[in-house]
Chain A
Amino acid sequence: MSDSSFLSIGTDTPRKDGVARVTGAEQYACDIDLPGMWIAVTLRSPHPHAKILSVDTAAACALGAVVLTADDVPEVYYNERGVSVPAKTYRDRLVLPRKARHVGEAILAVAAPTEELAFQALRAIKVEYQLLPPVLDAEQAMLPQSAPLYDRVFFGEDHLEVKANIACEREIHVGDAQAALASSDFVFEETFQLQRIYHHQMDTKTAVVKPEPDGGLTVWCTTQSIHNVRIQLGRIFGIPLSKINVKKTALGGSFGSSIQMNSVIPIAAALALKAKRPVKLVSSREDDAYDHTNYPGRIQLKVGVNRDMSITAAECHFLVDIGAHQIQAYPLLGSTAGWLVSLYHWKNVDYWAKAVYTNKVPACAMQGYGNPQMNFAVESMVEIIAERCGFDPIAFRLRNYVGTGDEFWGQGPTVRSIIKSCGVEESLRIGAEKIGWSERGQPSQKTGRLRRGIGLGRGFHTSGAGAPQPAEVIDYSSATVKINEDGSVDLMHPLMDLGGGANDAHAKIVAETLQVPMALVNLSPVDTRTTGYDVCTHASRGIYVGGAAALQAAREVKGKLLDFAGRLLNEFPEHLELVFDPQDQQTYVQTRSIQPETGLPATELPATELPATELPEARQLAAARQPPAARQPPAARQPPAARQPPAGSPAKRITLAEAAKMGMVNGWGTLIATGSLRQKNCPPSFVTNFIEVEVDTWTGVVRILRAVCLADCGTPINPALAAGQLEGSLARYGGYALGEATEHRPDTGALFCEGFITDNKIFTTCEMPREDNLQTYFTHTYEPSGPYGAKGLGEAAGNSVASAVANAVHNAIGLRFTSLPITPERILAALASKEGLPC
């Protein structure tokens, strides 16, 4: 919870880009318009699996278009995602393929002066295909008679033969699960089926690429990582990174769909290099729906339990149909093991996971990254066990949950840390009160047309992918803070804001550290040339890792500021502090009050201001970087004891603005610093959803009537935006639970919706509970390793929504759904077989 001692942390402030976004003034990649820019369009395969035998581009070229085919692109295999270390990265794709592996895969591209001409040229191109048998089912894909999608791919720098279309496998064992299951009082087993859904981010994937006279590239694109785009382009096209500049533009949502360098970016880059002019490639909504999907999955879960409510073991088989390319299936299989083992104390675990290639839209990370899937399985299973064994569902959870002091797997088995803050108990207690858990009744007591039920789902997600030792996942961030000559502040942060307000949180962390109003901190437009590295906005690391980098930079700038002020006030910098005076709305550097017991000024910063685990290192870094003059003021400037101000009343002060201005006038240099750091923990944020639904037994429609969303995200930096995460995720994953499915036709391999949103619906505000029935709550927790006690929230917010909805449906009508989505039609069919058809 917010601490009243904070100036702006924990207060609601409007997004800095809010007005620009809602008035249409904000500039997204698709708004970039350059002189002489050509428009690119892509030709996408109508076939799920086909070899491209020949391409006739003569007619298109005659129209004045530039055509890019597989012959024009570098023979460099890449993986769009650059988050795992290179040695653990699978690479299976070229900029343009010689074989189409799913309907809608871009197989060539055309650029022309106008979009109309580009489409004319596209239509004039003749492609000859050799159709191959499509593989459209993950189980069948592994059979010997199925056509292989790949002969071999790269793993790290090595060739890897692909057998039975299995992209990758992981096996994790803790203790002796089979023995534990054999000696358990009860063993439960269920299979859970999770569907494919399209991310439905508003911003379709876009790239604008401008070739520069020096052989370099300037890029504006839809991405969650400007630095990884630069690294990938440098690698594919053999251009030094210093000559590639990727601009940070506003992102219109993402939900994880742009965690990678999207495949349209190198296509646009190759076209721009070939056409020798700027090229813009905007994905249509239909192209975009054929570009990415979440990870579907089948989870077979077996759990052993004893009569004393203790869990003894879990056995889990996870099968993932990843579609035509491997983007991050290998880390997904590991991470999902973490989502399993870190939810409850299983004690013994057998985990087998397999990712299988099929001729479908390639799956990539989506908010939660395997966690909503695993959470649905586990939190459904917990309710099944509680019901059959007669355990109280909350007591059963409290008996077995993973919390403070326990080990947590934040990104699979190689990214582990110890939990230091946990709001699970508070969430369960408060949530149960708020929703009226004890009055929820049993399904058997509920009759009539409209039946209500209350469900509980609890989950968590990591904050970043940091561990004491760097592991398979790269995770650090950088930020630069500059106090301008008038006392205003510029923050240069490479981390992309996916919509949750991460950059605003960074600004707030800087404002808090420098005790200046949020309005004085500017989020500067940046690019890869002007910022240090940030890996990517993923793993809910925006605030925890990105914010820590901003905090580090802000602290260092603060040190320099105190040095300037010390020179001006003739005081030791360590005897000075920053204070915001609400009377005149000014930030002052002033002498600290004298400690009555020591007769010396207080030199320790308040404990709340520095993450404890970061303190020694940050101090050392700051010390190492300070100029000698700052560390040891000259003796002549040492204030005589007689001039010490009396206790409790600082005598000397100067405004921050004045100190900054005098720094310039005196030629002392710019108040600027860059932080770059790796967090060494990955604290989980815990979210609990209590949801009340109403099932219409005539139509099968489920309405979400009430929801209480409780979050332990440590200190909510901006509570209004944090609440927005919880509310938005209720909508996003409410739709996942109750309606969405973006599946392929088993015959043609095309999407049932054909890419159109007409038949690919997500929740709107009309599906949400009314405002007064939607409550959010933040637990009173403080994460010692996070900036001002903060953890992540973006993904945790959505992970347990589907399980809470399914549990609520069960409480209403007594039917357990183990596969999603729980559509009205499936509810009615299940009711019909239980109670007979409604008239």
Chain B
Amino acid sequence: MLHYSFCKPRGLIEALQVLSEYGGRARIAAGCSNLLPDLKARHLQDCLLVDISELEGLRGIQAEGNWATVGSLTTIAELGGSPLLREGAPLLWQACQSFGDPLVRNRATLGGNLGHASPAADTAPPLLAMETSVLAESLSGGRREFPIAELFAGPGRTNLRPGELILSLRFPLFERKKVAFVKFGLRNAMAISLASAALSLRMEDGLMQDVKLAYGSLAATPFRAFRTEECLTGMPCNEETLVRASTEAQGEVRPITDIRASSSYRRLLAGALLRQAARAALS
């Protein structure tokens, strides 16, 4: 049986008030694609559901010069259907194509995917690789902007302050890099990623430069694999480089064993996904 109460703030201030008042007992309900299973599994009990779905100000994609601001209530389907992102932020756009299934993409929001802080969140590795910044607000602390890498604290845990709500994400557009998002699940749709990787790089005189690599599901949080990035930077994209970088990646990831896969298998996937991503990015 589900134990919860429910409120639906009419504006941002009211929402922040509720979040501030109820603290840890308040759970934000947006697309509910994570919330409903959690309620059903009784991982959430005795909580206040704060339905923010009508805060229209948190919805939509805005471009300003070479920067995009995406409201946290924007759905994955909206992101995946955006011609602007397809051209300007292909790494995120790619991740949105294979996210969940069409039904989930219509409900799930970008803010929810990040705020839920699953190590497997599909939008996290691209946003990490794009050095996205997060805009959040609370009643007492006001607005602050910080790098997305500082958002994740552990499985299901963020570094958001009490009562803080993610308002939007800001990332660069039209970087003109070679990119690929690859993921691996136990089936091709509606499967939690066992491992995912987002890679972006530039080829200059046959060498890889400005390499960004982020992994999902291979540690307690999604993370940038800086050591592996270094391994790739300034190198030609050949078998030798990739084998070396894969070995580095396998050492850099910190996967767990759970019912979906063992840590050793996930470690192997880190290398396989890197090679797959490099191949896809340069094809």
Contacting pair A758 B188 (CB below 8 A) = no
Within 156-198 of A, Cβ neighbours of B (below 8 Å) are at: none
Q: Which residues of B contact A637 (CB under 8 A)?
A: none
Contacting pair A766 B189 (CB below 8 A) = yes
Whether A433 is near chain B, meaning CB under 8 Å from some CB there, is: no
Which of the residues B186, B246, B272 comes within 8 Å of A739, measured between beta carbons?
B186
Tell whether A698 pairs with B275 under 8 Å between CB atoms, given A758-B37, A764-B190.
Answer: yes
Contacting pair A698 B187 (CB below 8 A) = no
Which of the residues A119, A701, A823 comes within 8 Å of B1, measured between beta carbons?
A119
Whether B278 is near chain A, meaning CB under 8 Å from some CB there, is: no
Measured between alpha carbons, how far is A763 from B191 in the docked complex, in Å? 11
A-B contact count (CB 8 A): 62
Contacting pair B271 A839 (CB below 8 A) = yes
Whether A29 is near chain B, meaning CB under 8 Å from some CB there, is: no
Q: For the complex formed, measure the closest distance between the CB of B31 and the CB atoms of chain A, giving whole angstroms.
A: 16
Q: Which residues of B contact A754 (CB under 8 A)?
A: 41
Whether B247 is near chain A, meaning CB under 8 Å from some CB there, is: yes
Return the 10 tightest CB-CB contacts between A and B, nearest first: A119-B1, A766-B188, A698-B272, A839-B243, A825-B265, A766-B189, A752-B259, A839-B246, A699-B272, A764-B189
Q: Which residues of B contact A823 (CB under 8 A)?
A: 186
Contacting pair B1 A122 (CB below 8 A) = yes
Q: Which residues of B contact A286 (CB under 8 A)?
A: 40
Measured between alpha carbons, how far is A110 from B181 in the docked complex, in Å? 50
Measured between alpha carbons, how far is A753 from B259 in the docked complex, in Å? 8
Within 736-759 of A, Cβ neighbours of B (below 8 Å) are at: 739, 752-754, 756, 758-759
Measured between alpha carbons, how far is A837 from B268 in the docked complex, in Å? 8
Q: Which residues of B contact A (CB under 8 A)?
A: 1, 37, 40-41, 101, 184, 186-192, 242-243, 246-247, 259-262, 265, 268-269, 271-272, 275-276
Contacting pair A120 B1 (CB below 8 A) = yes
Given A698-B275, A766-B189, A839-B243, 9 more contacts at CB 8 Å? A699-B272, A700-B265, A761-B187, A764-B187, A766-B188, A828-B268, A838-B272, A839-B246, A839-B247
Contacting pair B1 A838 (CB below 8 A) = no
Q: For the complex formed, measure the closest distance between the CB of B263 and the CB atoms of chain A, giving whole angstroms.
A: 11
Measured between alpha carbons, how far is A756 from B37 in the docked complex, in Å? 9
Can you spell out 14 A-B residue pairs with CB atoms less than 8 angstroms apart? A123-B1, A698-B272, A698-B275, A699-B184, A700-B265, A753-B259, A756-B40, A758-B37, A759-B259, A761-B191, A766-B187, A828-B268, A838-B268, A839-B271
Measured between alpha carbons, how far is A759 from B41 in the docked complex, in Å? 12
Measured between alpha carbons, how far is A752 from B261 in the docked complex, in Å? 12
Whether A767 is near chain B, meaning CB under 8 Å from some CB there, is: yes
Q: For the complex formed, measure the closest distance between the CB of B206 and the CB atoms of chain A, giving whole angstroms.
A: 22
Within 793-839 of A, Cβ neighbours of B (below 8 Å) are at: 823-825, 828-829, 837-839
Q: Which residues of A contact B265 (CB under 8 A)?
A: 700, 824-825, 828-829
Q: Which residues of A contact B37 (CB under 8 A)?
A: 756, 758
Which of the residues B40, B188, B272, B276 comes within 8 Å of A767, measured between beta carbons?
B188
Q: For the complex formed, measure the closest distance between the CB of B16 and the CB atoms of chain A, giving whole angstroms.
A: 31
Q: For the complex formed, measure the closest distance between the CB of B281 and the CB atoms of chain A, giving whole angstroms.
A: 16
Greatest chain B CB density within 10 A among A752, A825, A838 is at A825
Digitize A602-629: 1 where CB-to-B-CB distance is under 8 Å, 0 elsewhere.
Answer: 0000000000000000000000000000
Query: Which partner residue on chain A sits nearest B190 by CB separation?
Result: A764
Measured between alpha carbons, how far is A838 from B273 in the docked complex, in Å? 12
Q: Which residues of B contact A838 (CB under 8 A)?
A: 268, 271-272
Q: Which residues of B contact A752 (CB under 8 A)?
A: 259
Query: Which partner residue on chain A sits nearest B272 by CB separation?
Result: A698
Digitize A751-779: 1 where CB-to-B-CB distance is under 8 Å, 0 elsewhere.
Answer: 01110101101011011000000000000
Measured between alpha carbons, how far is A120 from B2 in the docked complex, in Å? 10
Q: For the complex formed, measure the closest distance between the CB of B97 and the CB atoms of chain A, giving whole angstroms.
A: 12
Q: Which residues of A contact B260 (CB under 8 A)?
A: 759
Query: Which partner residue on chain B sits nearest A826 by CB separation?
Result: B265
Q: Which residues of B contact A837 (CB under 8 A)?
A: 268
Query: Which partner residue on chain B sits nearest A285 by CB separation?
Result: B40
Q: For the complex formed, measure the closest distance between the CB of B276 and the CB atoms of chain A, giving whole angstroms.
A: 7
Contacting pair A767 B246 (CB below 8 A) = no
Q: Which residues of B contact A758 (CB under 8 A)?
A: 37, 192
Measured between alpha carbons, how far is A19 from B175 in the docked complex, in Å? 50
Greatest chain A CB density within 10 A among B37, B189, B272 is at B272
Measured between alpha carbons, how far is A449 from B40 in the docked complex, in Å? 41
Measured between alpha carbons, how far is A295 from B170 in the docked complex, in Å? 53
Measured between alpha carbons, how far is A824 from B184 in the docked complex, in Å? 11
Digitize A299-338: 1 where CB-to-B-CB distance is under 8 Å, 0 elsewhere.
Answer: 0000000000000000000000000000000000000000
Measured between alpha carbons, how far is A699 from B242 in the docked complex, in Å? 16
Query: Which partner residue on chain B sits nearest A825 by CB separation?
Result: B265
Q: For the complex formed, measure the closest distance between the CB of A40 and the CB atoms of chain B, giving whole angstroms.
A: 14
Tell whether A825 pairs with B188 under 8 Å between CB atoms, given A839-B243, A839-B247.
Answer: no
Q: Which residues of A contact B184 (CB under 8 A)?
A: 699, 701
Measured between alpha carbons, how far is A825 from B265 in the docked complex, in Å? 6
Which of the residues B101, B187, B192 comes within 8 Å of A763, measured between beta carbons?
B187
Measured between alpha carbons, how far is A699 from B40 in the docked complex, in Å? 33
Q: Which residues of B contact A829 (CB under 8 A)?
A: 265
Q: For the complex formed, measure the closest distance between the CB of B247 and the CB atoms of chain A, giving whole angstroms.
A: 7
Measured between alpha carbons, how far is A759 from B259 in the docked complex, in Å? 8
Digitize A354-385: 1 where CB-to-B-CB distance is under 8 Å, 0 elsewhere.
Answer: 00000000000000000000000000000000
Q: Which residues of A contact B1 (CB under 8 A)?
A: 116, 119-120, 122-123
Measured between alpha carbons, how far is A620 from B209 in the docked complex, in Å? 89
